[in-house]
Structure 1
Amino acid sequence: MTRRPVHVAKNDGNRLCAICRGKACEWYVYARKIESHNNTDYVVITMQRDHAHTCSQVLDQRWLTSKWLVERYLEKIKANPHIPLSAIRQCVDEEFGLKVGRMKAYRARDTALEGIFGKAGRQYRKLFDYKSELERTHPGSSVHINTYYHRIILHAVVPFQCAVDAVDPKGDAFSLSDERSKKKITMLDVVRANTFVAEVLGLDPREVSVPVVGGHAGVTILPLLSQVKPACSFTKEETEYLTSRIQNGGTEVVEAKAGAGSATLSMAYAAVKFADACLRGLRGDAGVIECAFVPSQVTELPFFASRVRLGRSGVEEIYPLGPLNEYERSVKSVVSLEKAKKELGGSIDKGVSFAKKFQA
């Protein structure tokens, strides 16, 4: 690679013309397609006389996108799903002499793994299909899907998304009685959001508050970066980086541990932090506000995570989402409220259907 801004000016399938868009650079090449040895190649017809560029090299290679990286290194990622980002960046450097950013390599690996294994939420939803298939092929067998609870004062569920909607804090099939006491926490996502945003802002995570709404799987996790406290603003690139990292925080820990463990410490910290908030609410403290996944009318979905006020009787008030910025609203964004609701709706339907079968 020459690190020059070469542009394909014409390519009609048989003829190709490429020029350099570098300042005052007259480099060009004309080529024609030929058939040889069962392969399609191009032969150079005309080229700038000394074959040399007169412009300077550029570091910004716009063709070097995460999509291109996926196409180039898909087999390598498939062979090693835990391939370090540094290894992908090193491959690009060694093969093409180009530098690729850590976030671009991360997006490429994440996209490749999603194509290979499917989205996390959809993988979890397949558990119910596996259960049905096991019951069909092994008549008389009992197959159970369990969620796990950290028993403090409440049952802090660290589940897969669709099971959240099927199970109440006591582990019984979900019913609508005493809804205010049912609080499926999203504190784990809030803890990660506060930590990652604090890193970017150079602050203590305890001084940062990021509301996280939606659900607890992949794109259903929607951090409202427009409502961060203390107030701040992020570029589009920073927003995409932070959102992706918050959504994939658990995967990042699993990969760092090379599959030998999960994010157990952050789960425990989130559970304790939420339990403390519940205790303060039971004590009658004013203004105890946290994010929780609850039966809600904030959106058209029957369940949704948003900011709630905790008190002596549980969830005493559910707050609206508040003003969203263009990135959080736009369906064209990598992540948006509409995309989160669409994915979450499928998980809720699956969980509720499972609960009804369980009760029957």
Structure 2
Amino acid sequence: MVKAVVIGAAGGIGQPLSLLLKQSTLISELALYDVVNAPGVAADISHINTPSTVQGYLPADGGLEKALKGADIVVVPAGVPRKPGMTRDDLFNINASIVRDTAIGIATHAPKAFVLIISNPVNSTVPIVAEVFKKKGVYDPKRLFGVTTLDVVRASTFVSEANGASEKSLEYSIPIVGGHSGETIVPLISASQPSVSFDQSKIEALVKRIQFGGDEVVKAKDGAGSATLSMAFAGARFAISVLEAAAGKARTEYSYVDVKALGAGEWSSVVGDLTFFSVPVKLGKDGVESVGAGIKANEYEQGLLKVAVDQLNGNISKGVAFVADTAAKAGL
């Protein structure tokens, strides 16, 4: 019996994410929570003939507690989406309080659950959750994940396309390390599997497209939304990998995790003093079993990594400071 919870289930990411999770036979109970419309979303997808039961919850009458009780995995896309001209960091002040209060709820009612953070900006919101869990005395770095899978998915798609229409069906695997915002996203195209050969200008164009792929969607939607459907796909893919690993089927995925607590392994020279960094992680029944093998970056990619590390320092500090500054107000 596996209970999965989606916090922010009525939103642009939450609805398709809930739909995708409903299709998984690994999940027996699906709880959907949001400040509005969650019961309607639950009623809709409950008609799908897969084994899991579905229930929607609102804040009234202890809805968050009811949704989280007995949870094995909690996926959090809660927050507001990006608008034209917004960076992920622009969202910080809007989403930080939402994520902090959600983390308090998880720490109180589902402290042993796997927690997958999608809410932007991930570079800062994951440290917020970690700080809340520490203050609540329930922090387990093996069970807290920042979902960066969309960057991996985009890289596979874009590199495949760049390598020609005849090869679009191939599954390209490109290591994506760093963070989940702009220049903190570092595609190691030199380590692509299968290998690819592009001139430097093409590589730089691909890197920029992978780093700022979300802007394409915001522009294409003409200000009416952001990357919700592809993000839902990526979030569901990562959640299923976590559940498969918990069920005994080893999986390796890229995720933004606490490398200081978990150990950065062969990535130590890249990570330096950073607390959080997206690296390949080997997943097992208790979450992160170990950090995956290091990958040799070429000179160009080493330059990208330095930029990412500099920016991540500020992003992480911002999340930590937010919790410190608002802890008393939030009752922490």
TM over 0.5: yes
Q: Pick from 275, 288, 292: which aligns with 1:319?
A: 292
Matched-pair contact (CA < 8 Å) for 1:165–1:174: no
In structure 1, distance between residues paired with 2:313 and 2:96: 23
In structure 2, distance between residues paired with 1:205 and 1:356: 48
1:157 equivalent in alignment to 2:99:
no
In structure 1, distance between residues paired with 2:220 and 2:324: 39
One-letter amino acid of the counterpart of residue 290, structure 1: E
Matched-pair contact (CA < 8 Å) for 2:174–2:187: yes
Measured after TM superposition, the shift of residue 270 of structure 1 is 0.3
Measured after TM superposition, the shift of residue 204 of structure 1 is 3.9
In structure 1, distance between residues paired with 2:233 and 2:89: 27
Q: Which residue is equivalent to 1:120?
A: 87
Q: Which residue is equivalent to 1:222?
A: 186
Superposition CA RMSD, Å: 2.8
Mapping of 1:181-220 within 5 angstroms? 181-202=143-164, 203-204=167-168, 207-220=171-184
Higher relative contact order (CA 8 A, sep 6+): 2
Mapping of 1:28-43 within 5 angstroms? none
Q: Which residue is equivalent to 2:255?
A: 292
In structure 1, distance between residues paired with 2:129 and 2:253: 21
SS in 2 for 1:304: strand
1:237 equivalent in alignment to 2:201:
yes
Measured after TM superposition, the shift of residue 121 of structure 1 is 5.1
In structure 1, distance between residues paired with 2:232 and 2:170: 17
In structure 2, distance between residues paired with 1:208 and 1:144: 34
1:173 equivalent in alignment to 2:173:
no
Measured after TM superposition, the shift of residue 201 of structure 1 is 1.7
Q: Which residue is equivalent to 1:355?
A: 323
In structure 2, distance between residues paired with 1:191 and 1:154: 21
Q: Comparing both structures, which one devotes a greater share of its residues to helix?
A: 2
Matched-pair contact (CA < 8 Å) for 2:127–2:316: yes
Q: Which residue is equivalent to 2:60?
A: none
In structure 2, stretches of 5+ residues that fail to align are 1-84, 107-112
Q: Which residue is equivalent to 1:280?
A: 244
Measured after TM superposition, the shift of residue 310 of structure 1 is 0.6
In structure 2, distance between residues paired with 1:204 and 1:338: 32
One-letter amino acid of the counterpart of residue 263, structure 1: A
Q: Which residue is equivalent to 1:29?
A: none
One-letter amino acid of the counterpart of residue 283, structure 2: L
Q: Residues 343 and 320 (structure 1 numbering): CA distance in 2 closer, same or farther, change over 3 Å?
A: farther
Measured after TM superposition, the shift of residue 237 of structure 1 is 0.9
One-letter amino acid of the counterpart of residue 293, structure 1: Y
1:34-65: CA deviation from partner (whole Å, max 9, x where unpaired):
xxxxxxxxxxxxxxxxxxxxxxxxxxxxxxxx
Q: Which residue is equivalent to 1:341?
A: 309
Q: Which residue is equivalent to 1:8?
A: none
Measured after TM superposition, the shift of residue 275 of structure 1 is 1.2
Measured after TM superposition, the shift of residue 314 of structure 1 is 0.1
Question: Whose Rg is larger?
Answer: 1
Mapping of 1:16-31 within 5 angstroms? none
Q: Which residue is equivalent to 1:137?
A: none
In structure 1, distance between residues paired with 2:206 and 2:125: 27
SS in 1 for 2:139: coil
1:238-278: CA deviation from partner (whole Å, max 9, x where unpaired):
11111111111111101001111111100110011111211
In structure 2, distance between residues paired with 1:182 and 1:158: 13
In structure 1, distance between residues paired with 2:305 and 2:293: 13
Q: Which residue is equivalent to 1:305?
A: 278
In structure 2, distance between residues paired with 1:346 and 1:198: 33
Measured after TM superposition, the shift of residue 146 of structure 1 is 1.9
In structure 1, distance between residues paired with 2:163 and 2:225: 29
Q: Which residue is equivalent to 1:333?
A: none
Measured after TM superposition, the shift of residue 154 of structure 1 is 4.8
In structure 1, stretches of 5+ residues that fail to align are 1-116, 132-142, 331-335
TM-score normalised by the chain length of structure 2: 0.60
Report percent identity of matched pairs: 39
TM-score normalised by the chain length of structure 1: 0.56
1:203-257: CA deviation from partner (whole Å, max 9, x where unpaired):
3466111111111111101111111111222211111111111111111101001
One-letter amino acid of the counterpart of residue 207, structure 2: T
